[in-house]
Structure 1
């Protein structure tokens, strides 16, 4: 009888923990991060090596711009699964955001690790679009003296083109816009609209017309078109 009671208590504890995780997951998927956080933390105390819980907690910390906390979780899961591209990408992303909010001297010390994380993720997963977007942006924003290069950005935009035409087209447009080659950017963003008619593609071209090319009438016309389709 005692053995049966003991097993029942263990089973109840496990079910309770699973329920906490599932509740937290549902809250997270609804965007209720603050409500999900304590449930995930409670579950992690009982299951200290649970990868998905650490990933969710890293995502929540990132949404709160708590980059150090986010990096702590991502680093653990990256070490657990060193061949998982997404974990390298997430750790590199949190590190990159930390660098952006740090002084220039401290940020310089982080660049190599950020680059290694993104390049490792790209190598591990030949179709990881987010990583290639991150590399496009990284090499655009880095000064040339420490590795920044339009050519490198263009190479990763071309890789995106081979994986997902819409991502490649929008990345090419992003590069053109960054260097203030607005007519070329317009061509790429128009291609993006033709491919998907998505709200995001429309938004990029509307913003270009409105804030960069001083073409408010085109922006208004395009916004009306977007509203009808989306």
Structure 2
């Protein structure tokens, strides 16, 4: 009887929290982050270990380029549920953005944790596509004297090829483009179009033509081909 009474007393609080959560989630989906944030924060006071609320707050911080707070939220998620691969991926991504905007010394301090976070993501979810992309970028952007390596970037690109051929070809084209091997990049983008055919594959090839090869007419033709192929 006492348990039933306690449950009935707590029911309005639960419903209030649920209602606020639905409102906040709707605002988030509409990209109204500044309006969603105080609702999520109010829920967090009553439910400080709610994983979804913490993740939303981390995502809102990321959308606001508030990398310090996003790091705090994602780190909390890792501690609360250390078996969830995506929490490590988001944490590593926030560290990466903090390193990018924080300057050389901040980057040097964070690069180890960043790499470990992406590697942990793959340990927990061996099929994680985005973490491999992140590691490719990591090894491309990092200077050789602190661990940068095309060979290691290619290793993750090869793994992508097995999991998702379109990502494999796109990643190889991206690596080629980074090292200014534009002919090879063009070939790989075309292969990505053949196996995937998404708008992104066409746009990446068009971007190569326009920005790197300075052939705007070819870029326009690629986009025209996409529009003609998929017009309703």
CA shift for structure 1 position 18: 0.9
Structure 1 pair 4/104, CA: closer, same or farther in 2 (3 Å)?
Answer: closer
Partner of 1:23: 23
* 1:191 equivalent in alignment to 2:187: no
Q: Which residue of 2 aligns with 1:13?
A: 13
The farther-off stretch of 114-123 and 61-70 is: 114-123
1:33-112 equivalences in 2 (<5 Å)? 33-112=33-112
Task: Report the Cα offset of residue 24 of structure 1.
Answer: 1.4
Give the TM-score normalised by structure 1: 0.94
Structure 1: any 5+ residue segments left out of the alignment? none
Q: Offset at 1:59?
A: 0.4
Q: Which secondary structure state, in structure 1, belongs to the residue aligned with residue 148 of structure 2?
A: coil
Secondary structure of the residue aligned to 2:187 is helix
Aligned residue for 2:83, secondary structure, equals coil
**Inter-partner Cα distance in structure 2 for 1:7 and 1:178:** 60
Pairs aligned (count): 229
1:6: Cα distance to partner?
Answer: 6.7
| 1:69-112 deviation digits (Å, cap 9, x = unpaired) | 00010000111111211111100110110011112122111111
Q: Which residue of 1 aligns with 2:154?
A: 154
Q: Gaps (5+ residues) in structure 2?
A: none
Distance 2:193 2:126 in 1: 26
Label 1:4 to 1:176 Cα distance change in 2 as closer, same or farther (>3 A): closer
Q: Provide the rounded CA distance (Å) in 2 between the counterparts of 1:90 and 1:33.
A: 18
**2: distance between equivalents of 1:196 and 1:103?**
37
Specify the SS of the correspondent of 1:194.
Answer: helix
**C-alpha separation between the residues in 2 aligned to 1:7 and 1:169?**
56
Tell me the SS of whatever aligns to 2:102: coil
Q: CA deviation at 1:31?
A: 2.2
Name the CA distance, whole Å, in 2 between partners of 1:6 and 1:120. Answer: 42
The reply to whether residue 206 of structure 1 matches residue 210 of structure 2 is: no
TM superposition shift of 1:5: 8.0
Residues of 2 paired with 1:36 and 1:221: CA distance?
A: 42
| Alpha-carbon distance between aligned partners in 1 of 2:7 and 2:112, rounded to the nearest angstrom | 52
Q: Distance in 1 between matches of 2:123 and 2:187?
A: 30
Three-state SS of the structure 2 residue aligned to 1:49 is coil
Higher mean Cα deviation, 65-74 or 16-25? 16-25
> How far apart are residue 198 of structure 1 and its match?
1.3
Q: Take 1:150 and 1:157, find their aligned partners in 2: how far apart are those partners?
A: 10
* Cα distance between partner residues in 2 of 1:198 and 1:108: 37
